[in-house]
Amino acid sequence: MNTDEFAKQYLWQLADAEALHSFYQHIGGTAAPSAKKDDPDFYFESKKFLLNLHFVDEDYLLKRDVPSYGQAAMRLVSAEIPIATATSKRQPLIALPFDVHTISNRAQLLAAMPKAADKTFELKGSVRNDQWFFPDYRLVCIYKPVDLSLKSIQIISQHY
């Protein structure tokens, strides 16, 4: 599965949607995603795969005035793909638009992408991420601040 396929099949889906629920179980999810009373977010880190999922309470997304979160459905808003280390036992699951094994820094990543970044975020004179916008999602490549090596990739719903 590549980033386009992942975005179309799973992003912005409710956690209890059949396809997303099945995928969540496949990557090791057991407890249903749910918000805490004072926090609309639920994060899941797969122990099997290089994939972390971020769900958000619909009350928060729809800006409903509620006394606490955790009553509404949860929606998948993004996924993060951490960069594997030599000691990582987690397996890749989503194919990226570049070969992560040949990329050691930002310059190589920018050269490997089929088009220039749509947006670059800098903080205190240091590049933190580059973003590419696609019809269903944005792809965010996050760098380590010291050497601009790739730290992780996020796939974020266009609705979020």
Crossing angle for the helix pair 3-10 and 18-26, nearest 10 degrees? Answer: 130
pLDDT at position 17 over 90: yes
- Specify the pLDDT at position 4: 96
Per-residue pLDDT of 130-140, as tens digits, reads 999 999 999 99
Task: Tell me the pLDDT tens digit for each residue of 82-128.
Answer: 998 878 889 999 999 988 878 888 999 999 999 999 999 999 888 99
pTM of the model: 0.94
Q: Which candidate, 59, 66, 31, places its Cα nearest to that of 45?
A: 31
Q: What residues does 156 pair with on adjacent strands?
A: 78, 138
Among residues of the chain, what percentage have pLDDT more than 90?
85
